[in-house]
């Protein structure tokens, strides 16, 4: 039987960041179901430059974006982003970099190992069963468990603490070489070709392009692959200068798209990252939040273990709710509303976005809604209504 202070289930950005922030005296084991960190790719990698710098992510792991275009059937909005520039992360490189930050700590990384179950013991510890493709089933005893398993919510679901999310954003992405596509331009598109969801075009720093579509289930019945095939046959991509070759890599991913829940801590079980629904409801981007919250959780957990006082963990949980709850509630309301949009609705929305300032656009994508911007948007909407009477 293996033993550790902290068992981390999942080696995505959240789980790896928890491990990197644990004290050197805290022992931890990370179990990850994939055979390699960062592969297969399960995220489109969109984020923001200032967050990448704040999180000390090396420049070699992202492409800077300073042009952002929106398209629908009969409308478009184009922005030069000068202040809050975006980035597209090299997912595999970034995740492997995050893993390297805890290499010299007291941690063990078990790849190709699936978390199966856990049982709370009478002494408060947890006895977890995992299955490795190499060594078969093993048992791990830990004082704490971090659920960083993404939408699976594997730990909290196994303990009967929470059900798996029923509403999910499911995406598929084709990644290919297109040397003449502008490396500084990202595109978000909606409308008839992707009416069941939304789409994106993201360039990477290694001369490749990511073309993706996403669908909200169960709001829509369409399969993302069917939506992608429909998009490729529509001619819609010609407007954006995108050409999909015969050979491409296929990425896919799933994020929860559910109402915000402040509760992260269940005794000595703590959820983080997509297991805590960190992906933003508007754009579905959450890597920066997963890294930030993972590091904060790792620091709080180290203090809790050293001092034997859980107050640090509950302070972490309270700060998380205070920072994100209000904006996530507004974003989730908008997310539910737009799933029923038709082509005309999307045309109107893109035309409205075209009247936004640069800061309003980036704050929208960040899922940040301060009262001043909300009030200004409401006034503009009222003005257009009155002009149309």
* pLDDT for 196: 76
CATH of 2-41+92-165+261-333, one of 3.40.50.300, 3.40.718.10, 3.50.50.60, 3.40.390.10: 3.50.50.60
Domain residue ranges in the chain: 2-41+92-165+261-333
Residue 240, burial from CB neighbour count under 10 angstroms (0-12, 13-18, 19+): middle
Pairing mode, strands 62-65 and 86-89: antiparallel
- Tokens 């923001």 correspond to what residue? 48
CB 230 within 8 A of CB 193: yes
Instruction: Give the residues across from 138 on adjacent strands.
Output: 130
- Mean pLDDT of successive 10-residue stretches along the chain, which has 389 residues: 96 98 97 97 95 97 97 96 96 98 96 97 97 93 98 97 95 96 96 90 93 94 94 94 96 95 97 96 94 98 96 97 95 91 94 93 91 54 52
Which has the closest alpha carbon to 79: 372, 363, 369, 377? 363
Looking at residue 195, what is its pLDDT? 86
- Residue 40: asked if its preceding bond is cis (omega within 30°), the reply is yes
**Who contacts 358 (Cβ-Cβ below 8 Å, separation ≥6)?**
79, 80, 81, 82, 83, 84
Tell me the pLDDT of the chain averaged across its residues.
Answer: 93
Dihedral in degrees, nearest 10, Cα atoms 372, 374, 380, 386:
-120
Strand partners, 114: 131
Neighbours of 381 (CB within 10 A): 11
Instruction: Please list the alpha-helical segments (H only) found in 108-190.
Output: 154-158
């Amino acid at each position: 039987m293996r033993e550790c202070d902290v068992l981390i289930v999942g080696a995505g950005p959240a789980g790896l960041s928890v491990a990197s922030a644990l004290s050197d005296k805290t022992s931890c084991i990370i179990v990850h179901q994939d055979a390699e960190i960062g592969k297969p790719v399960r995220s489109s990698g969109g984020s923001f430059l200032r967050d990448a710098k704040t999180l000390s992510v090396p420049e070699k792991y992202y492409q800077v974006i300073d042009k952002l275009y929106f398209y629908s059937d009969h409308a478009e909005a184009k922005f030069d982003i000068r202040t809050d520039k975006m980035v597209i992360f090299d997912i595999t490189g970034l995740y492997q970099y995050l893993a390297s930050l805890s290499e010299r700590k007291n941690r063990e990384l078990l790849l190709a190992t699936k978390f199966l179950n856990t049982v709370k013991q009478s002494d408060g510890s947890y006895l977890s069963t995992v299955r490795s493709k190499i060594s078969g089933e093993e048992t791990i005893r830990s004082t704490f468990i971090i659920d960083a398993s993404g939408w699976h919510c594997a730990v909290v679901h196994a303990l009967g603490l929470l059900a798996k999310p029923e509403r999910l954003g499911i995406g598929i992405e084709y990644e290919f070489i297109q040397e003449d596509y502008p490396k500084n331009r990202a595109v978000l598109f909606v409308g008839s070709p992707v009416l069941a969801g939304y789409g994106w075009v993201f360039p990477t720093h290694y001369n490749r392009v990511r073309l993706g579509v996403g669908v909200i289930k169960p709001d829509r019945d369409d399969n993302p692959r069917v939506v992608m095939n429909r998009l490729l046959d529509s001619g819609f991509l010609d407007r954006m200068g995108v050409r999909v070759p015969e050979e491409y890599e296929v990425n896919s991913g799933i994020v929860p798209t559910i109402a915000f829940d402040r509760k992260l801590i269940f005794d000595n079980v703590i959820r983080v990252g997509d297991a805590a629904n960190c992906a933003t409801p508007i754009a579905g981007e959450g890597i920066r939040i997963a890294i930030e919250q993972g590091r904060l959780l790792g620091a709080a957990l180290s203090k809790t273990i050293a001092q034997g006082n859980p107050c640090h963990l509950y302070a972490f949980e309270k700060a998380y709710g205070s920072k994100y709850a209000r904006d996530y509630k507004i974003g989730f309301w908008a997310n539910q509303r737009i799933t029923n949009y038709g082509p005309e609705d999307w045309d109107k929305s893109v035309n409205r976005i075209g009247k936004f300032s640069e800061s309003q656009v980036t704050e929208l994508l960040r899922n940040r809604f301060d009262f001043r911007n909300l009030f200004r948007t409401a006034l503009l909407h009222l003005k257009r209504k009155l002009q149309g009477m």
